[in-house]
Every structure is written in structure tokens, then in C-alpha cells.
């Protein structure tokens, strides 16, 4: 299944960026249109060891995964959460409803509606697009 391959590639990419002795990695990828952000927290025995939080260029695997997981009339997910454990266990969650509030100012929500149309875009999305256009 292509989706599994893409998730595995994303996990490998994230793991290549962090210390190899990490116990747990929590990554949140946020995307809409052509914009993506990444928030990584790396945990060791003593708690959080490293935090990476920044907008990223369009990673091909993430963009393709959003496209493959889009649902006709409902759009695609905004947030992809990953928990990666040292033993190799990977847990994924996808949120199609709404990204984190802090991401609303930089996400390409208008572009997302063009790429992944929604029959009834949520009010928060339309309001955020209007606010972006006013700025």
C-alpha cells in the first residue's frame, strides 16, 4: 500500500534528523495547500531532549500522502501526528477537522480548497482565508 510506504519514508526522514539514542519522538506535521510545518519533540529518560519547530518546504512524501488520503467533498487532513518509539513501534493519527490555531496565519488554506475541495468548508476555514486576504 502506497500510504504505508510514504509513512515509513516520513518516519525515516524524521529519525535521520534526531539523536539515535532517543526513547520517543513525537512529530506533528501540519499542511494545507503548498504549506507545511513540522513540530518535533524528542524524549529521553530525563524528559524532553530536543524540540524542533519550523515551517518546511513541501516534502514530496507528505504532499503525496495528503493527496492520497483526500476524501472527495471532505478534503484532506490538516494534521498528521506521529509517535515513534525506540523499539520501532509507530503510531499515527490524522486530523481532517482543523489545524492548530497557531498555524492558521501561515497555512495556504485557499490553495488547499482548490487542491482538496470541500462540499461545505467549515466556517473557521472561510474566516481564516478572509483574514489572510485582508493582510
User: How many domains does the chain fold into?
Assistant: 1
Is residue 96 within 8 Å of residue 74, measured between CB atoms?
yes
Look up the domain containing 51 and give its range. 2-134
Domain containing residue 16: CATH number: 3.30.500.20
pLDDT at 68 exceeding the cut of 60 = yes
pLDDT tens column, 16-67: 878 888 899 999 999 999 888 888 899 988 888 888 776 655 578 999 999 9
What pTM does this model have? 0.88
Looking at residue 60, its pLDDT comes to 85
How big, in percent rounded to 5, are the helix, strand and coil portions of the chain? Answer: 35, 35, 30
Looking at residue 115, its pLDDT comes to 96
Q: What does the mean pLDDT of the chain come to?
A: 90
Amino acid at each position: 500500500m502506497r500510504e504505508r510506504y510514504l509513512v515509513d519514508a516520513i518516519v525515516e526522514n524524521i529519525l535521520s534528523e534526531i539523536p539515535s539514542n532517543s526513547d520517543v519522538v513525537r512529530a506533528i506535521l501540519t499542511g494545507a495547500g503548498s504549506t507545511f510545518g513540522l513540530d518535533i519533540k524528542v524524549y529521553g529518560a530525563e524528559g524532553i531532549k530536543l524540540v524542533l519547530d519550523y515551517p518546511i518546504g513541501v516534502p514530496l512524501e507528505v504532499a503525496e500522502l495528503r493527496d492520497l488520503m483526500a476524501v472527495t467533498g471532505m478534503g484532506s487532513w490538516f494534521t498528521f501526528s506521529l509517535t515513534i518509539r525506540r523499539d520501532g513501534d509507530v503510531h499515527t493519527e490524522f486530523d481532517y477537522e482543523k489545524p492548530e490555531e497557531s498555524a492558521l496565519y501561515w497555512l495556504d488554506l485557499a490553495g488547499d480548497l482548490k487542491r482538496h475541495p470541500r462540499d461545505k468548508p467549515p466556517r473557521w476555514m472561510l474566516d481564516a482565508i478572509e483574514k489572510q486576504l485582508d493582510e
